[in-house]
Structure 1
């Protein structure tokens, strides 16, 4: 069933891409802009978790984004190869290979000065199967030229986190010679202590990961490749995460 769902999403994205491309030629019938992306990554490691990745094999990911005068909204999905814990007996026999992530988000991005910007918004994370894994998260951020810092805070207890969990991420993404783009990230977590669904939290604050990456466009095709090296930190149970290389191929429209 999930394979069918993935194909249906991919087909819907492709159809909408074609429709939007035609609309772009004659201008959209509504204000704002729409963009999208589709990609394949060798491994989906959410926020530096490499010991138990969301998908240890190749994952298909993609999304659509709408923006207008600083306001934005969008949808993003990824295939998974394991299932989030489901407390409902009706989903206990679901094949982990059929699990799927859908993210719905919206917010506002503005500028304080020409180089200094800010962001406020929120995200709903829905994982099939199990409503117990549906999370609601806020995001606030500041950016200066190629440097940005964000803080994402979970608003409810879910199977993968506690209310109050906050993920801090600092990113530097400069343009490099020969058309390359660099990426240097440092991630850390403040962990809430409710422990309704998750394992006992060993520390309230921990280094989560550091990531170094390179990407480059594939000519004028709209596609690009990426190479990331994740230096693993620690999860909420104080387990050291492995270092890992992740390859990606993406197409933006």
Structure 2
């Protein structure tokens, strides 16, 4: 599915969910931006920047439970691809219920502008569910699959907010594919929030052998949002 078709699909959904004039609907929503610098763009345990630093940034729009956005990162797949930029377009529904339950349903289109390979881009559908306790502890799970590919990804997560500015979390994920093989990944990290800025320090590893992008690594990410 092309990005423009995905955008039209979600614009139609917004129009049905919010039967207001375009200007009135946009006025009720809000835009936020984000930018980050990371020592390694690690995605589900595997480096997408060949172990090198990456520059990232995005723009989000939220209107009630509906949201949409675009996010981009520099990438380096080594000899496997000529792509040097990843751009993801996404839209979804998310909500935090009064009983501590949070849920999120999302459609994401991953695009790689300028890449010689035509089969890199693709659509992914994902969902997540989490529960937050009054103590600051939370648990959650998420899953994703691609209608045009043959992979399924699922993970379980848990975290604890020691204060309003410091938290820790851990995750265990499983990737299953008939063509790419199966693997597991895990991570353990901590995040310090300093107003609009954040510092994230995270350990990643997988059970993949003899593949450098999947080796264990420690990733430091500096980000800012507005």
TM bucket by the smaller chain? Answer: 0.7 to 0.9
Alignment of 1:165-184 (within 5 A): 165-177=151-163, 179-184=165-170
Q: 1:32 aligned to 29, 34, 37, which one?
A: 29
Structure 1 residue 85, shift from structure 2 partner? 5.3
Task: List runs of 5+ in structure 2 lacking aligned partners.
Answer: 1-24, 133-137
The residue aligned with 2:217 is: 244
* Distance (whole Å) between structure 2 residues aligned to residue 111 and residue 37 of structure 1: 22
Deviations along 1:149-204, whole A, 9 cap, x unmatched?
11110121xxxxxx23011122223211483111211111121x2x3xxx5x3xxx
Unaligned runs of 5+ in 1: 1-27, 87-95, 157-162
**Aligned equivalent of 2:204, options 202, 217, 230:** 230
Residue 82 of structure 1, CA deviation:
3.4
Instruction: Give the Å deviation of 1:239.
Output: 9.3
For residues 65-92 of structure 1, give each alpha carbon's deviation from its aligned partner in whole angstroms, at most 9, with x where no partner exists.
1111211111110001236856xxxxxx
Q: How far apart in 1 are the matches of 2:95 and 2:164? A: 31
TM-score for both structures, normalised by structure 1:
0.68
Within a 5 Å distance, the mapping from 1:115-134 to structure 2 comes to 115-128=100-113, 129=115, 130-134=117-121
Tell me the matched-pair count. 195
What does residue range 5-154 of structure 1 map to in structure 2 within 5 Å? Answer: 30-50=27-47, 53-82=48-77, 96=82, 99-111=84-96, 114-128=99-113, 129=115, 130-145=117-132, 146-154=138-146
Contact kept in structure 1, 2:50 and 2:78, CA below 8 Å: no
Aligned 1:148-167 pairs, distance under 5 A: 148-156=140-148, 163-167=149-153
Shift of 1:54: 3.0
**TM-score scaled by structure 2?**
0.76
The two structures, once aligned, show a CA RMSD in angstroms of 2.7
Other-structure match for 1:189: 175
Q: Cα 1:135–1:178, aligned 2, differ >3 Å: closer, same or farther?
A: closer
**Structure with more of its chain in strand, by fraction:** 2
Paired residues of 1:138 and 1:154 also in contact (CA < 8 A): yes
